[in-house]
Structure 1
Amino acid sequence: MSNSMAPLTIKVHPNDNVAIVANDGGLPAGTTFPDGLVLRERVPQGHKVALLDLAEGAPIIRYDVVIGYATRAISRGSWIEESLVRMPSAPRLDDLPVATRQAPALIPLEGYTFEGYRNPDGSVGTRNILAISTTVQCVTGVVEHALQRIKAELLPRYPNVDDVVAIEHAYGCGVAIDAPDAIVPIRTLRNIALNPNFGGQVLLVSLGCEKLQPERLLPEGTIPVQNAVPAQVCLQDEQHVGFGAMIAAIMAMADERLAELNQRRRETCPASELVVGVQCGGSDAFSGVTANPAVGFAVDLLVRAGATAMFSEVTEVRDGIDQLSARAASPDVAAAMIREMAWYDAYLQHGGADRSANTTPGNKKGGLANIVEKAMGSIVKSGSSPIVGVLSPGEKARQKGLLYAATPASDFICGTLQLASGMNLHVFTTGRGTPYGLAAVPVIKVATRTALAERWHDLMDIDAGRIASGDATIDEVGWELFRFMLDVASGRKKTWAEHWKLHNALVLFNPAPAT
């Protein structure tokens, strides 16, 4: 997409009365299109242009959905910038279509494999990592010091271990630990400790006086019976005389765990053992026409291969709940999805906000007028398969197929919660660009625009902008992504985030009170 190419707009659905400008840098006033459309003013790339004269109050339609209403009369060829779009009310949660969309039978996709690490609990990892879990933020400084020494002094002895990471967080004390919603951060931390990429080797560091005691974080029966008792270091234990003793204890425990992990080897596993989380961040108007549709195609391939795929971000699907409830595999699944939407509506209302708080300045600069338009482009990364299950925040996935994992849309919180749900591979689309990464799982970055993929050539893994320029189809990029996932899962390829060791801090979702 460049200014040298012919003027180009992208119209998603025949019923749309707007289209987005595809050319890099946008197009100037006076630009004439083959159908006779003339731009009345300059329109930035990714922004909407009116294809018809729109009266004040007229619906503005994109994706065959009313994304808003004109705040004044808009002439054909005009730039429809944010202030001209009045956002509609959120869809009601009653009287929704429930399990009404009969998806065509998916043809099984057989014969696709990756080289993974089998775990005692039956899960499969894509990486072989030692994780140091923590019960409370107070121990972070000590754990960080120990982590640096473990990486420098111990990890080189164990060439079959990919990394050592610390599961650090700002939780564990100063909170209402018995409040009903405290289950969210607690099960999040518990399930992250048991992520498939950690091989069942749990190493836990606690302080001693915190509210989140080790037995509450990892109660009896949590650790698979095939594994040893988790290694635990309590910093307040009297045996630790000085800082050096604490570090030595953590390093001794880590040494034992590293030796166990070092014995593991990759083996051929069916693609059905993948658990892939999909997410978008730094979205723009191209997200819904290039990267997210390609991801949706790849998600359908994963489901056909028998794998688990999960999509999330409550506020970014809320305006399409009717589409999702119709795709539910059963009335129970639809009811669970609606329940999660209602819970989050109440959560936002309690905080004096609504779904409109989601959109960022970058989203708007990239052409997204409001959350309705953003949601329509976000949903398509879920593909077209039936939704077979719903996970509450931080809940572990226990079935194959397409799942809706309810999370906030915040990149960091969503990634943390999908990690807790058991993902072993992450796919992240972006239009504005972000160096987002996770230490525990490979993160594949898909750029919505070729200009971004070229400018951030050593940060973006897949260029979906070729779809907008006509150089590739959605299906072709979807297959490319699917094959790339298998290569990354096998360790044959690294993502750019892995190459540079870029990762964001884990951020827990804690809807319970702090004290």
Structure 2
Amino acid sequence: MAKQRGLTGFRRENGAVGVRNHVAILPVDDLSNAAAECVAAHVPGTLALPHAFGRLQFGEDLELTFRTLIGIGTNPNVASVVVIGIEPNWTQRVVEGIAKSGKQVQGFSIEGFGDLKVVEQASRVAQRYLQAASEIQREPVDRSEILITTKDGESDTTTGLGSCRATAYLIDRWVDEGGTVVFGETSELTGGEHLIAERCVDDAVRSRFQEFYDGYIDMIESTGANLLGSQPTQGNIAGGLSTIEEKALGNIVKTGSKPVVGALGPAEAPSRQGLHFMDTSSAAAECVTLMAAGGGVVNLFPTGQGNVIGNPVQPVVKITANPKTAESMHDHIDVDCSPLLTAGQSLDEAGEGLIDLVERTINGRVTAAEALGHREFTLTKLYRSA
């Protein structure tokens, strides 16, 4: 076992620990994207988070949008937030939700003022926030304070055999040392969902997990659609995963062996330490965004055929055990554990190598996705707008 590296992070007003220090410019709706991006252009170093939705949504679909936006604003990797919306009421709801975390946040609505005036006012606030954030210092933190999430993508046969096993090694170690980890991809548990149910710590967690899983499958089956090509994807099939059951086993492998202590709704933050399931889509950008909204500060992303996903708030660590991908897409890969399958590397060696890279990422190392500018940020939409 490698010597544990000292970790540092940014401690927020509510005690949560982040590994990045963003000043976010957060639009409430698609109509406010232009103003948010304009503010970020005026104040380089701030982070605009444009997205496609936020208008004429209702019911649980609207609640999920609010939960996601507020969750992103309260993510520990965010130091402060400027919120911009077309209407004042929904803008203020997001501002008030973020303010409960104790961090600096101010909102601006465009109706009655127009983009130019709002951009000027919001840019002045963003400048002050950025200067204040620049003085926040890293401090020593414990592994137990770092919320890790995990999702895989463009999986193939090497994923379940290699990169997911290395990820599981880290997850088991992280949980053993008091840390918290979140996994999801509800549809990609199909055929192995009973394995997760058996690991739930009690009947309450098991019942909520089963409710999430059954509801997702019922929704899919109610359409009468054939998912082949979507689940598994064309890339999965090319990589040798011909059924959703084969794909699910790799997804489950990466969760490790620890008990599942919580079943979370999408964008819901865990309230206790340990391993949690989150009810999410298997689409990469949607899933990672929901996990970031739940408080995740580093995402582990095993990939086989090669996935380029990043996230603007939560750094994504890309892991592969496919030697071809490690060579042909090396600029996207943070951890090459293909020697686990090709050169006699032990699982301990592969897992310790991943832990080392994740610790460096926590301490400030820029991931491949960050370096290449991948900032995929996608809200999950449950149904049609009004």
Same fold (TM over 0.5): yes
Identity percentage of aligned residues: 27
1:51 aligns with: none
2:191 aligns with: 319
1:234 aligns with: 109
Aligned counterpart in structure 1 of residue 87 of structure 2, from 208, 215, 223: 208
1:359 aligns with: 232
- The alignment partner of 1:374 has SS state of helix
- The alignment partner of 2:317 has SS state of strand
1:259 aligns with 2:135: no
- The alignment partner of 2:160 has SS state of coil
Q: Is the 8 A contact 1:447 1:453 kept in 2?
A: yes
> How far apart, in 1, do the equivalents of 2:294 and 2:160 lie?
25
- With over 3 angstroms needed to count, the CA separation of the structure-2 counterparts of 1:350 and 1:450, relative to structure 1, is same
> How far apart, in 1, do the equivalents of 2:172 and 2:158 lie?
20
- The alignment partner of 1:131 has SS state of strand
1:409 aligns with: 282
Tell me the matched-pair count. 384
2:12 aligns with: 119
Q: Is the 8 A contact 1:429 1:446 kept in 2?
A: yes
RMSD: 2.0
2:368 aligns with: 496
1:188 aligns with: 68
Aligned counterpart in structure 2 of residue 197 of structure 1, from 68, 74, 77: 77
- With over 3 angstroms needed to count, the CA separation of the structure-2 counterparts of 1:227 and 1:444, relative to structure 1, is closer
> How far apart, in 2, do the equivalents of 1:267 and 1:217 lie?
29
Q: Is the 8 A contact 2:95 2:106 kept in 1?
A: no
Please give the residue correspondences for 1:142-153 in structure 2 after superposition, counting only pairs within 5 Å.
142-151=35-44
> How far apart, in 1, do the equivalents of 2:101 and 2:196 lie?
38
Is the radius of gyration larger for structure 1 or structure 2? Answer: 1
- The alignment partner of 2:157 has SS state of coil
Cα displacement (A) at 1:226? 4.0
Q: Which structure 2 segments of 5+ residues have no match?
A: none
> How far apart, in 2, do the equivalents of 1:225 and 1:338 lie?
31
2:21 aligns with: 128
> How far apart, in 2, do the equivalents of 1:316 and 1:513 lie?
24
Cα displacement (A) at 1:225? 6.4
> How far apart, in 1, do the equivalents of 2:379 and 2:374 lie?
19
Could you give the per-residue CA deviations for residues 360-401 of structure 1, whole angstroms, max 9, x where no partner exists? Answer: 111111101110111111110000011111111111222211
1:508 aligns with: 379
- With over 3 angstroms needed to count, the CA separation of the structure-2 counterparts of 1:113 and 1:329, relative to structure 1, is farther
> How far apart, in 1, do the equivalents of 2:157 and 2:313 lie?
30
Aligned counterpart in structure 1 of residue 245 of structure 2, from 362, 366, 372: 372
1:99 aligns with: none
Q: Is the 8 A contact 1:207 1:235 kept in 2?
A: yes
> How far apart, in 2, do the equivalents of 1:346 and 1:420 lie?
25
Could you give the per-residue CA deviations for residues 454-487 of structure 1, whole angstroms, max 9, x where no partner exists? Answer: 2222221111211111331222111111121111
Worse-matched range after superposition: 253-262 or 384-393: 253-262
Q: Which amino acid aligns with 1:115?
A: T
Q: Is the 8 A contact 1:292 1:381 kept in 2?
A: yes
> How far apart, in 2, do the equivalents of 1:244 and 1:142 lie?
8
TM-score, reference length from structure 1: 0.71
1:476 aligns with: 349
Aligned counterpart in structure 1 of residue 326 of structure 2, from 417, 433, 453: 453
1:166 aligns with 2:166: no
Cα displacement (A) at 1:496? 1.4
> How far apart, in 2, do the equivalents of 1:215 and 1:251 lie?
18
Structure 1 residue runs of 4 or more that deviate by more than 6 Å after TM superposition = none
- The alignment partner of 2:332 has SS state of coil
- The alignment partner of 2:331 has SS state of coil
1:309 aligns with 2:184: no
> How far apart, in 2, do the equivalents of 1:354 and 1:397 lie?
34
- The alignment partner of 1:115 has SS state of strand
> How far apart, in 2, do the equivalents of 1:444 and 1:365 lie?
23
Worse-matched range after superposition: 479-488 or 448-457: 448-457
- The alignment partner of 1:358 has SS state of coil
- With over 3 angstroms needed to count, the CA separation of the structure-2 counterparts of 1:355 and 1:344, relative to structure 1, is farther
Cα displacement (A) at 1:354? 6.5
Cα displacement (A) at 1:355? 6.1
- With over 3 angstroms needed to count, the CA separation of the structure-2 counterparts of 1:367 and 1:412, relative to structure 1, is same
Could you give the per-residue CA deviations for residues 263-290 of structure 1, whole angstroms, max 9, x where no partner exists? Answer: 2000000111111111111111111100
- The alignment partner of 2:333 has SS state of coil
1:343 aligns with: 215
> How far apart, in 2, do the equivalents of 1:351 and 1:395 lie?
27
> How far apart, in 2, do the equivalents of 1:409 and 1:446 lie?
17
> How far apart, in 1, do the equivalents of 2:129 and 2:181 lie?
30
Could you give the per-residue CA deviations for residues 96-130 of structure 1, whole angstroms, max 9, x where no partner exists? Answer: xxxxxxxxxxxxx9966411000011110101110
Q: Which amino acid aligns with 2:107?
A: Q
Q: Which structure 1 segments of 5+ residues have no match?
A: 1-108, 156-163
Aligned counterpart in structure 1 of residue 259 of structure 2, from 362, 386, 390: 386
Aligned counterpart in structure 1 of residue 30 of structure 2, from 137, 152, 172: 137
Could you give the per-residue CA deviations for residues 332-379 of structure 1, whole angstroms, max 9, x where no partner exists? Answer: 111111011011112213433366541111111110111011111111
Could you give the per-residue CA deviations for residues 246-275 of structure 1, whole angstroms, max 9, x where no partner exists? Answer: 321121010121122122000000111111
> How far apart, in 1, do the equivalents of 2:353 and 2:233 lie?
30
Greater relative CO, 1 or 2 (CA 8 Å, sep 6+): 2
> How far apart, in 1, do the equivalents of 2:281 and 2:33 lie?
25
> How far apart, in 2, do the equivalents of 1:301 and 1:494 lie?
23
